[in-house]
């Protein structure tokens, strides 16, 4: 691995761009290759074996570009394939996002925390273990949101239909005093303002993007792989979707 190589960032689609934004804000001098598998999104409603196979196939494309580090900017892929990825690429620094339950529990002690994520993420043992490690410190409620990723893949972030989807989704928790929400899917930060509007300004919202960026910076520093801060960086966009607009949409979301 060499300092001048790019950093690969992977997601099932456009969601990982919310993580890429945080990474570029912290490490603007680096070169990035973003691969979104929008042609196969959403992953979260697929069986685990399919998610595993699609993730590995997408990663092969990034690895073939000769990257110096890999960011799994997809909670679903981390849950299903995180350990296998580390085993398959033992020399590559791999940084994998996870639902930001820790900061949520620390700031909402004794409160009620809703974890919004895909069905696949919430079903996996990895999440069960994470949830159990905070048992007794807060009430943690799983909130799978099938259907939400599709709005973001279409670039629809603040339409009345998104608002209606969220109001319907949160209706069952109206009797609960929700104090915090964890965005456990990298697509969801793009509808953060709408989630805040629907749940009210008192609810605190957490996502793992900034923490993932800090972890990447630490790993690159330890491995002496950071580019000098005087250099300028770049982003190369790759996507499996046949939609000719997908790269423009990616750039647009990056600036959103």
Active site residues: 74, 185
76 is an interface residue for ligand DGL by CB under 6 A: yes
Q: Give, in order, the Cα–Cα distances in Å from 215 to each of 51, 105, 234, 244.
A: 25, 20, 20, 34
Cβ atoms < 10 Å from Cβ of 146: 13
Residue 59 makes contact with ligand DGL by CB under 6 A: no
- The nearer residue to ligand DGL, 150 or 226, going by C-beta atoms, is 150
Stretch that binds ligand DGL, among 58-66, 72-80, 122-130, 247-255 (CB under 6 A): 72-80
Sole window of 64-72, 154-162, 181-189, 246-254 interacting with ligand DGL (rule: CB under 6 A): 181-189
Residue 187 touches ligand DGL, criterion: CB under 6 A: yes
Indicate whether 36 belongs to the interface with ligand DGL (CB under 6 A): no
Q: Is 124 in the site for ligand DGL (CB under 6 A)?
A: no
Binding-site member from 8, 44, 93, 211 for ligand DGL (CB under 6 A): 44
**Smaller CB distance to ligand DGL: residue 76 or 179?**
76
Taking every pair of C-alpha atoms in the chain, what is the biggest distance, in angstroms?
54
Report 135-164 residues binding ligand DGL (CB under 6 A): 149
Task: Please say which residue, 40 or 199, places its beta carbon nearer to ligand DGL.
Answer: 40
Binder of ligand DGL out of 12, 179, 241, 250 (CB under 6 A): 12
Stretch that binds ligand DGL, among 74-82, 166-174, 198-206, 213-221 (CB under 6 A): 74-82
Interface with ligand DGL, residue 186, by CB under 6 A: yes
165 binds ligand DGL (CB under 6 A): no
Q: Based on the shown chain and the rule CB under 6 A, indicate whether residue 38 belongs to the binding site for ligand DGL.
A: no
- What is the DSSP pairing of strand 31-36 with strand 67-72? unpaired
The secondary structure of the chain, three-state, reads CCCCCEEEEEECCCCCHHHHHHHHHHCCCCEEEEEECHHHCCCCCCCHHHHHHHHHHHHHHHHCCCEEEEEECCHHHHHHHHHHHHHHCCCCCEEECCCCHHHHHHHCCCCEEEEEECHHHHHCHHHHHHHHHCCCCCEEEEEECCCHHHHHHCCCCCCHHHHHHHHHHHHHHCCCCEEEEEECCCCHHHHHHHHHHHHCCCCEEEECHHHHHHHHHHHHHHCCCCCCCCCCCEEEEEECCCCCCHHHHHHHHHHC
For residue 146, the minimal CB distance to ligand DGL (Å) is 8
Footprint of ligand DGL (CB under 6 A): 11-13, 15, 41-44, 74-76, 118, 121, 149, 185-187
């Amino acid at each position: 691995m060499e300092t001048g190589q790019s950093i690969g960032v992977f997601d099932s689609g456009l969601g990982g761009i919310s993580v890429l934004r945080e990474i570029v804000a912290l490490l603007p001098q680096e070169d990035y290759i973003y691969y979104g598998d929008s042609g196969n999104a959403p992953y979260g409603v697929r069986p685990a074996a399919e998610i595993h196979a699609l993730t590995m196939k997408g990663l092969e494309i990034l690895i073939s570009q000769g990257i110096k580090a890999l960011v799994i900017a997809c909670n679903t892929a981390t849950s299903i394939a995180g350990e296998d990825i580390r085993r398959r690429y033992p020399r590559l620094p791999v940084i994998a996002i996870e639902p930001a339950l820790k900061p949520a529990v620390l700031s909402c002690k004794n409160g009620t925390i809703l974890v919004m994520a895909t069905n696949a993420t919430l079903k996996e043992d990895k999440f069960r273990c994470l949830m159990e490690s905070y048992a007794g410190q807060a009430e943690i409620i799983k909130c799978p949101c099938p259907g939400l990723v599709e709005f973001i893949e279409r670039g629809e972030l603040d339409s009345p239909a998104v608002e209606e989807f969220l109001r319907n989704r949160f209706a069952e928790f109206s009797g609960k005093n929700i104090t915090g929400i964890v965005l456990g899917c990298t697509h969801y930060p793009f509808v953060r303002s709408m989630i805040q509007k629907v749940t009210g300004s008192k609810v605190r919202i957490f996502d793992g993007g900034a923490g993932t960026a800090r972890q990447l910076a630490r790993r690159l520093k330890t491995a002496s792989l950071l580019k000098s801060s005087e250099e300028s960086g770049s982003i190369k966009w790759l996507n499996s979707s046949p939609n000719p607009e997908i790269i423009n949409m990616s750039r647009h979301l990056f600036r959103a």
